[in-house]
Structure 1
Amino acid sequence: MELLVASAIGLMTACGIYLMLRQRSFPVIVGLAMITYAVNVFLFASGRLTLGLPPILRDDAAGYTDPLPQALVLTAIVISFGMTAVIVMMALGAFLDTGSDKMDLDDDRAEDPEARK
């Protein structure tokens, strides 16, 4: 089971990095989401979640589940949602400004102020 989870984390990370290296806005956003999912699964897997145990140690319980990984993942989900919204708005603003969602870093028009008009 550990091999399956580790393989899934590695595959999601590889797909996320591949998509983030694309030159279009949408694949970059999807790649960032894939890396976020990989980090969340990694945090869950590192917490050694157990089924059927309470999150807080009680006198009648045989053990407890560590609530810290669950809190970290919940916080990561909220932060990633906010960052995704910010990146989508930045991509939308760039699209409306330039008319294209391609992120051209080697743009010759950046050196010539007259070509921007």
Structure 2
Amino acid sequence: MEPLFAILVGLFFAAAIYLMLSKFSIRIMLGIAILGNAVNLLLFTAGRLTREVPPIIPANLDTLPEGAANPLPQALILTAIVISFSFLAFLLVLTYRAYQDIGTDNTDEMRVAEPLDPPLPPMGY
């Protein structure tokens, strides 16, 4: 099962890099979201994929039984999901506001919309 997930992680990373190299901000955002999912899947796969022994310490033992899944990557993934969702929501609002002000999501056209001359300083009394 791990080789299948390794191939899937590779495909996620490839798709994320392809999308992040685009000049459209929506594609860049989708690439960042896919990159976050690829990292989460990589951490999950590194923590062992097993359904036979859950990561629960029995009452008569002090440590996890042999062959149990590692619970630390699972906890890290839960935290990463919350952080990546808030980051994606921030990027979505930022992209929407930029589209409202400039009228495009093309990053090349956004650079053209920058003012060429700096504004004059206010006149003092």
TM-aligned CA deviation for residue 108 of structure 1: 4.5
Unaligned runs of 5+ in 2: 119-125
Cα contact 2:2–2:49 (8 A) shared by 1: no
Whole-angstrom distance in 2 between the partners of 1:111 and 1:96: 17
| Structure-2 residue corresponding to 1:70 | 74
TM-score by length of 2: 0.79
| Structure-2 residue corresponding to 1:97 | 101
TM-aligned CA deviation for residue 6 of structure 1: 1.3
Unaligned runs of 5+ in 1: none
TM-aligned CA deviation for residue 99 of structure 1: 0.7
How many residues align structurally? 114
Percent of residue pairs identical = 41
| Structure-2 residue corresponding to 1:51 | 51
Q: Using a 3 Å threshold, how does the CA distance of structure 1 residues 24 and 111 change in structure 2: closer, same or farther?
A: same
TM-aligned CA deviation for residue 66 of structure 1: 1.9
Cα contact 1:12–1:38 (8 A) shared by 2: yes
RMSD of Structure 2 on Structure 1 (CA): 2.3
TM-score by length of 1: 0.84
Q: Using a 3 Å threshold, how does the CA distance of structure 1 residues 6 and 74 change in structure 2: closer, same or farther?
A: same
TM-aligned CA deviation for residue 2 of structure 1: 2.8
SS in 2 for 1:5: helix
Q: Using a 3 Å threshold, how does the CA distance of structure 1 residues 108 and 101 change in structure 2: closer, same or farther?
A: closer
